[in-house]
Structure 1
Amino acid sequence: MLVIGRKPGEYVVIGENIKVKVVKSNDGDLRLAIDAPKDIKIVRGEIYEQEHLQEAK
């Protein structure tokens, strides 16, 4: 796992076509803006874990 620090407005690029940008909300929380092709499935971590727990049963 790569751990990298990014400030609001900065981003990382994964492969040739996925861009993950750090944005700051009005509350001061950090959010991620993900720009990826429509055929790439993106899910939140808690949903991913729920799906995989159900598969293990």
Structure 2
Amino acid sequence: MLILSRKVGETIWIGENVEIVISEVKGEQVKIGIKAPRNIDVIRGELRKDISESNTEAVVKSLDLLKNSKQ
């Protein structure tokens, strides 16, 4: 993991086409802007975790339905 210190208005680039802009710092909260092509998904970590868990539950339920339908 790369850890950087940035000030308001400074940026971080990821590859050639993703730019992270520090827009505001208030206490322990940092607001950032992300400029990325539309084909790159940008999602908060906690939402990604929720989606992953939801997808896992759906797969398990589907497998259970398949098992029950074969019996």
Q: Structure 1 length normalisation: TM-score?
A: 0.83
The total of aligned residue pairs comes to 55
2:48 equivalent in structure 1 = 48
1:24 equivalent in structure 2 = 24
Work out the CA distance in 2 between the residues paired with 1:55 and 1:2: 29
Question: Would you tell me which structure has more helix in proportion to its own residues?
Answer: 2
Q: Structure 2 stretches of 5 or more lacking a match?
A: 58-71
Q: Structure 2 length normalisation: TM-score?
A: 0.68
C-alpha displacement at 1:45, in angstroms?
1.1
Percent identical pairs in the alignment equals 31
Q: Which of structures 1 and 2 has the larger relative contact order (alpha carbons within 8 angstroms, sep 6+)?
A: 1
C-alpha displacement at 1:41, in angstroms?
0.4
